[in-house]
Amino acid sequence: MRPDGREFDQLRPISFQSGIAPNATGSVLVSFGNTRVICAATVQEDVPRWMKYQKVGGGWLTAEYNMLPYSTLDRKQRDISTGRLDGRSSEIQRLIGRSLRAVVDLKKLGPRTIWLDCDVLQADGGTRTASVTGGCVAIAIALNKLMADGKIKTFPMKKLITGISAGIYQDTAILDLDYPEDKDASVDFNVVMTEDLEFVEMQGSGEEAVFTDEQMAAMLSLARKGVKEITALQKQAILDADQASLTDLKSLADSFKRP
């Protein structure tokens, strides 16, 4: 039995609340159980200096990841207080950026940059995979707004991506580890996949343990199951945000018609 009573192949409750950061071009609060991350995509009408110098066409997408001090049981010191980004945060934000660039056609984005900020409000395992998953939704919402504003003519996102964890806990392969499971798991595996179940990135390691081909196959099978379920939720969240945006535009248009 898992600590929270879930079945071995059962996801935590997952939700997306769009528009959580109104000043961003697209944003969601993504929740995987008690793990909650604000993912906000902001579009800047410029490209990095290195792209200009190297005369690289198209745009750019980059990510930043941060765990807020109160996101964990013991207060986490802010990176700014130490004067440097800690190694874990640096590695995670590279993962997020790499993953999303794999499914966004930067040429179609045009000469602009998408900044994706992932701020962890509450950490209960799987913050990196939640950031990838929520980040994908936030960027899709932002790209829909660019399309609606006529700034781009072709939707740049080729496919949705999802991040999910799997692991070996008490000799059993399980899906979507929370913190107690992650802490005691003998194997921890993070997988990023497209909606077509293509691999974007895999990060797996034994925690002072080894794992077999059969165990790896079991974890990947669980990951595929999770991705299928989460992709459906992502698509609905993007659709709901797009419909809400259309409703807001209609309300604004109606206000101009009033005497």
Binding residues for phosphate: 88, 126-128
Question: Residue 254 is encoded by which pair of tokens?
Answer: 């109606």
d(CA 241, CA 26) in angstroms, rounded, equals 9
**CB contact at 8 A, 230 and 197:** no
CA–CA separation, 165 vs 175, rounded Å?
6
Give the β-pairing of 113-122 and 172-175.
unpaired
- Which H helix or E strand runs over 128? helix 127-148
DSSP 8-state symbol, 114 = E
Bind-site residues: 88, 126-128
Count how many Cα atoms sit within 13 Å of the Cα of residue 165 in the half-sphere of its side chain: 24
Using an 8 Å Cβ cutoff, are 17 and 9 in contact? Answer: no
What is d(CA 108, CA 157) in angstroms, rounded to the nearest whole number? 9
Task: From 11, 14, 45, 47, select the one nearest 28 (Cα to Cα).
Answer: 14
| 104 within 8 A of 41, measured Cβ to Cβ | no
Residues 138 and 38: their CA atoms lie apart, in Å, by 9
Pairing of strands 161-169, 60-67: unpaired
